[in-house]
Structure 1
Amino acid sequence: MRTRWLKWIVGLVVVAAIVAAAVYALMPQPVPVDTAMIERGPMEVTINEEGTARIHDVFRVSAPISGRLDRLPVRVGDRVHANTTEVATIRPTEPAFLDLRTRRELEAAADAARAGVALAEASVNGAIAAQRVAETDLDRAERLSAAGTISLRAYEQAVAALDTANAQVDQARAELALRRSQLASANARLIEPDQTTLTPQPDTCCLTVRAPVGGIVIDLISESEQVVSAGTPLLEIGNPRNIEIVVPLLSADAAAMMPGTRAVIEGWGGAPLRANVARIAPAAYTKVSALGIEEQRVDVTLAIDNPYEERERLGHRFRVQTRISIWQADDVDRVPLSALFRRGADWAVFRVVDGRAVETRVIIDHRNGTAEVLDGISAGDTVIVHPSDQVSDGVSVKARTVE
Structure 2
Amino acid sequence: MNIMTVKGFSGKWLFWGVFALLALAALVYTVRPEPVWVDLASVSRGPLEITIKEEGRTRVRDRYVVSSPVAGYLHRVPLEVGDAVIPGELLTEVDPMPASTLDARSRAEAEAKVQSARSALNSTRQKVAAAEAEADLAIRELSRLKALSDDHFVSDERLQQARAAADRAQAILRSARFDEEVMAHELAAARTRLEVSAARETGNGNVERVPVRSPVNGSVLGVARKSEGVIQAGEPILELGDPGALEVVVDVLSFDAVKLSPGVSVRLTGWGGGSLDARVRRVEPVGFEDVSALGVEERRVQVVADITSSPEAWQSLGDGYRVDAEFLLWQSDNVLQLPESAIFIGDGQHQVFRVVDDRAVLTNVSVGRTNGFQTVIQEGLADSDRVVRHPDRQLEDGSRIRVR
Q: Return the TM-score normalized by structure 1.
A: 0.65
What is the rounded CA distance, in whole Å, between the counterparts of 1:291 and 1:50 in structure 2?
Answer: 16
1:395 aligns with 2:394: no
Residue pairs, 1:212-227, within 5 angstroms = 212-227=215-230
**What secondary structure sits across from 1:282 in the alignment?**
strand
Counterpart in the other structure of 1:150:
none
Q: Structure 2: where are the runs of 5+ without partners?
A: 1-6, 100-203
Q: CA deviation at 1:348?
A: 1.9
RMSD: 3.1
- Per the alignment, residue 37 of structure 1 pairs with 42
CA positional deviation for 1:265: 0.7
- Matched AA of 1:79: A
SS of residue in 2 equivalent to 1:241:
coil
Shift of 1:250: 2.2
1:327 is matched with: 330
Show CA shifts across 1:371-390 (max 9, x none): 11223323232111112332
Q: Among 258, 262, 267, which residue is 2:261 paired with?
A: 258
5 Å-filtered alignment, 1:1-20, equals: 20=25
Q: Give the alignment of 1:154-193 within 5 angstroms.
A: none
* Alignment partners' CA distance in 2, 1:283 and 1:81: 36
Matches within 5 A, 1:75-86: 75-84=80-89, 86=90
Residue by residue over 1:160-215, the C-alpha shift from the partner in whole angstroms, topping out at 9 and shown as x without a partner, is: xxxxxxxxxxxxxxxxxxxxxxxxxxxxxxxxxxxxxxxxx993321121111111
Equivalent position of 1:90 in the other structure: 94
Tell me which residue corresponds to 1:380: 384
Q: Residue 307 of structure 2 corresponds to which residue in structure 1?
A: 304
State the shift of 1:67 in Å: 0.7
Partner of 1:340: 343
Equivalenced residue count is 293
Q: Is the 8 A contact 1:251 1:298 kept in 2?
A: yes
Which position in structure 2 is the counterpart of 1:49? 54
Alpha-carbon distance change, 89 to 275 in structure 1, aligned in 2, over 3 angstroms: same
1:233 aligns with 2:236: yes
Quote the residue 1:120 is aligned against: none
- Distance (whole Å) between structure 1 residues aligned to residue 269 and residue 380 of structure 2: 36
The counterpart of 1:248, out of the listed 247, 251, 273, is 251
* Partner Cα separation in structure 2 for residue 89 and residue 8 of structure 1: 121
| TM-aligned CA deviation for residue 256 of structure 1 | 1.6
Q: TM-score, normalised by structure 2?
A: 0.65
Residue 24 of structure 1 aligns to a residue in which SS? helix
| Distance (Å, rounded) in 1 between the aligned partners of 2:222 and 2:205 | 30
Tell me by how many angstroms 1:259 deviates.
1.9
Offset, 1:290? 4.1
CA deviations 1:321-371 (Å, max 9, x no partner) are: 111101122332211011112225432211112221122232323111201
The answer to whether the aligner puts 1:60 opposite 2:65 as a matched pair is yes
Closer, same or farther: CA 344–206 of 1 in aligned 2, 3 Å: farther
**Matched-pair contact (CA < 8 Å) for 1:58–1:238:** yes
Structure 1: gaps spanning 5 or more residues:
96-200
For 1:221 and 1:320, the matched residues in 2 are separated by: 26
2:224 and 2:347 map into 1 onto residues whose CA distance is 60
Q: Which has the larger radius of gyration?
A: 1
